[in-house]
Amino acid sequence: MRNQVWYVATLLGFMCLIRFGLSAIGYVDPHWLMQQLGAPLDVNLQMPYIIRVWAIRDMVLAILVVFSNQATLKVLLCACIAIDITDIWSAHLSGLEGLFSEIDTWSLKLTAIAALLPETAALALIMRSKQMQEE
């Protein structure tokens, strides 16, 4: 995230805030997060473990993005985008299978979309800036 123009840094900061903030909450209190996502503990005994695995993944990604240089930032953003797209798709499939209510399914999708939008915009701006420099 170093050496980015302010608007790209703002988008990346917003993405990292969402990714790290929600993950930190999930790591510290997975039971509360499960309740908010419509996955009660009594029917999902393994979910606190899964929530914490997901949380660590997203906290590490956010930290890597914050401290990344120009060369690694694009690769990290591509990884973040791929992860968020698969998170959206997984939520969609889970909703189709009836594992979550429609409201909970949309909550899961929108959480991933909230990180996907700024990171995609930031990557597009970085790529456009690079393309303009080459011309």
Q: pLDDT tens digits for 83-126? A: 999 999 999 999 999 988 899 899 889 989 999 999 999 999 99
pLDDT at 16 over 70: yes
Predicted pLDDT of residue 135 = 65
- What distance in Å separates the CA atoms of residue 27 and residue 23, rounded to the nearest whole number? 6
Give the burial string for 88-121 (b: 16+ CB within 10 Å, else e). beebeebbeeeebeeebbeebbebbbebbebbbb
3-state helix vs strand vs coil in the chain, percent to 5 = 85, 0, 15
Place of tokens 């990171």: 119
pLDDT of residue 130: 76
